[in-house]
Structure 1
Amino acid sequence: MALPPVIIRMWGREPVPRRGPRPRLDLAAITTAAIEIADAEGLTGVSMAGVAARVGVATTALYRYVDSKEDLLIAMADAAAPDPPPPAGHWRDYLSAWTRAQRDFLLRHNWLLSIAQLVPPLGPRRLLWLDRALAALDGTGLEDGEKINVASTLTGYALTDAALTHGAGSPEYDEAGITGAQDYGEALTEVLDPATYPALSSAVRNGALTGAVGWVDDADFRFGLDLLLDGIEQLIARRSR
């Protein structure tokens, strides 16, 4: 199978010329510059010309390493991932820390949430996260495909929670004076028709959203994560029987 050139470069598999001057640029330097721009300005600030200016080369020089902005985004998404938590402890404790760490780095680089096309990981850093999750489930009796589904489900939860946390702080909500869960609940009471939304209206009236701190309390994140981990634990128990 012929891999895209950007994937080959991400893995350091591109042949190194034996002759001639050593290139003054590489994919790591390009992605580092692009990530710095994205962290400061969001994805809208990332352009091939802007990245080239940041690393001090002509725009055409970038095309030796990335064929398009789409390729650049693929490389950025992988390079932005930190090292996963080191393997340690019981599978449940590890996957809890693993999921939280994913949520946290997505919030640190919230532009990752704007990359619409989510594809299976192909880069070395993101695949290291998958490897560590699968290793944590060794000895549980789960099949390899089930382990991958577990990792995908927890990654999806981290992504969803990060998106909700980031979106809740958007300017649109701030301008409306909605800065917390209680404000959100009060807004819902103004718009919900109990005849159309009987269950949701009842929950809001009964204070389901009052008393929460901020938009997404850590207890809320823990509650959802425990639901998933409880389900995984039940699956492991069924396999052991």
Structure 2
Amino acid sequence: MTEHRLPPVVARMWGREASPRYGPRPSLDLGTIVDAAIRIADRDGLEGVKMSSVAAEVGMATMSLYRYVGSKDQLLTVMADAALPEPPALHDQGWRTYLADWTRANRDFLLSRPWLLALGQHTPPAGPRSLRWADRAIAALADTGLGYGERLSIAATLSGYAIGQAALAHALNRTTDATDSTVGLAEYRDVLGQVLDPDGYPELTAAVRANAFGVSEEWVDDADFTFGLDLLLDGIQALIARGKR
């Protein structure tokens, strides 16, 4: 396998960047700068994270920040990894129990830091924290007989489900006003009731009238998340069973 040169941002995340042989010793480190950026994002949202605001937070000139991180995009990439908690520990529970806990924990940290949702994920995870989440998920499936490709696909599917559910919960729990283009939890059912007609949307109209959406005041630990998660886990169980025939 050809060994490619590590991209600078990946080398920084893993501490593989070569130290300069000459010049003054850096007065800070990347971890301190990233911690400051995360504090700003927690406090002011992602829009508050600017190279100038991060530099001010750590007490340095903005241009000096580029000695530690090459661009704002690189800073955001490192932040997205550093802001993750450690994944749930692997114990002796079965794969299904662990992956249920893993997916719920994945969703919960996104709910606690909604600015992570705004970052999106346009490239495969490459940081130490995000790869530890992937490693634990495929490790939980090690005794199922599934191949590495299948196990990685399962981890990606469950992660995507957690992201989608966190984004939905954040959107539905937010407060909206008359000028906002989004719909919050309190308005959602009412909006559907106003725009749907039984001729064009017969089943969806009937579902709204039957209160099938059943949105509650707290869209976090609800039956909808568990229902969807169980569907995915049942599918994994069926995949495992097929492989054992």
* TM-score, shorter chain, exceeding 0.5: yes
Q: What amino acid maps onto 1:115 in structure 2? A: L
Task: Tell me the CA shift for residue 193 of structure 1.
Answer: 1.2
C-alpha separation in 2, matches of 1:152 and 1:211: 27
Q: Are residues 95 and 174 of structure 1, via their aligned partners in 2, closer, same or farther at CA, if it must alter by over 3 Å?
A: farther
Match of 2:27 in 1: 24
1:105 aligns with 2:109: yes
Q: For the aligned residues, what is the CA RMSD?
A: 2.1
Q: What amino acid maps onto 1:85 in structure 2? A: P
Aligned length: 239
Match of 2:228 in 1: 224
2:86–2:129 CA contact under 8 A, matched in 1: yes
Task: Tell me the CA shift for residue 185 of structure 1.
Answer: 2.1
1:47 aligns with 2:34: no
1:110–1:166 CA contact under 8 A, matched in 2: yes
Partner of residue 69 from structure 2, selected from 56, 66, 71: 66
Matching of residues 76-155 of structure 1 within 5 Å: 76-88=79-91, 89-155=93-159
Task: Tell me the CA shift for residue 205 of structure 1.
Answer: 1.3
Q: Are residues 72 and 171 of structure 1, via their aligned partners in 2, closer, same or farther at CA, if it must alter by over 3 Å?
A: same
Partner of residue 38 from structure 1, selected from 35, 38, 41: 41
Partner of residue 4 from structure 1, selected from 7, 19, 22: 7
**Residues 49-92 of structure 1, C-alpha deviations (whole Å, 9 max, x = no match):** 11011011111111112111111110000000111111021011
Structure 1 window deviating more from structure 2 (214-223 vs 108-117): it is 214-223
Please give the TM-score of this superposition, normalised by the length of structure 2: 0.90
1:103–1:158 CA contact under 8 A, matched in 2: yes
**Residues 216-238 of structure 1, C-alpha deviations (whole Å, 9 max, x = no match):** 55221111111100100110010
**Residues 18-62 of structure 1, C-alpha deviations (whole Å, 9 max, x = no match):** 676642211111111001101111111100011011011111111
Question: Unaligned 5+ residue runs, structure 2?
Answer: none
1:31–1:75 CA contact under 8 A, matched in 2: yes
Question: Unaligned 5+ residue runs, structure 1?
Answer: none
Q: Secondary structure at the match of 1:172?
A: coil
1:85–1:98 CA contact under 8 A, matched in 2: yes
What percentage of residue pairs aligned between the two structures are identical? Answer: 57
Task: Tell me the CA shift for residue 145 of structure 1.
Answer: 0.3
2:171–2:184 CA contact under 8 A, matched in 1: no
1:34–1:76 CA contact under 8 A, matched in 2: yes
